[in-house]
Structure 1
Amino acid sequence: MEVICLHDEAFYQLIEEVVDRIKEKQNITEDKWISPERAMEILNIKSKTTLQKLRDDGSITFTQPQKKIILYDNNSILKYLNNHTKKTF
């Protein structure tokens, strides 16, 4: 049996590459459910209160698999952004 040792950084980089290859093979371009941090990044907002308002008024879809875990539907966020696109003059 062979033992391979990796530094933490190299291990996590390897994991990311494996996940990227699996997504590529399965034609998955983006995760369906994303974290609140990622949702805020896509929406370009800084406030968790604003994110909660969008969730509460039904502007974006979410799931709550556990009491303190809320995930957001990436497609609904992109749809929200597209619905609020303004045409230039």
Structure 2
Amino acid sequence: MEVICLHDEAFYALIDKVIERVEQRKVAKDDKWISGSEAMQKLRIQSKTTLQKLRDEGSIRFSQPERKIILYDSDSINDYLSRHSKATF
């Protein structure tokens, strides 16, 4: 087993670089159009029927590029969650 010693400044600089790289990957990973399972996860629902209801009511935006492929707009899901959030006391 090896032990690596770093000065405080070098350690914190390394941590900052790691955090920056993780945030860059997260931004790159976030996609405007997400699958149904990702939409359900983001909405914290487990029923495909509820997801369809939100789609049919026009509560969230979706795109259907092919007959069996339905993609959901992640921004509209965030807006939906914001509209239904309750203010704290």
The alignment's TM-score, normalised by the length of structure 2, stands at 0.68
- What letter matches 1:68 in structure 2? K
C-alpha displacement at 1:28, in angstroms?
3.9
Structure 1: which 5+ runs fail to align? Answer: 1-20
Q: Deviations over 1:12-62 (max 9, x none)?
A: xxxxxxxxx8xx38x646100000000000000000000000000000000
1:61 matched residue in structure 2: 61
- What letter matches 1:51 in structure 2? L
- SS at the partner of 1:59? coil
- What letter matches 1:36 in structure 2? G
Q: Whole-Å Cα distance in 1 between the matches of residues 82 and 61 of structure 2?
A: 15
Q: Whole-Å Cα distance in 2 between the matches of residues 71 and 62 of structure 1?
A: 5
- What letter matches 2:76 in structure 1? S
RMSD: 1.7
- What letter matches 1:84 in structure 2? H
- What letter matches 2:56 in structure 1? D
Task: Find the structure with the greater CA-based Rg.
Answer: 2
After TM superposition, the runs of 4+ consecutive aligned structure 1 residues lying more than 3 A away are none
Change (3 A) 1:29 1:83: farther
C-alpha displacement at 1:87, in angstroms?
0.9
C-alpha displacement at 1:73, in angstroms?
0.2
- What letter matches 1:49 in structure 2? T
Q: Whole-Å Cα distance in 2 between the matches of residues 40 and 59 of structure 1?
A: 14
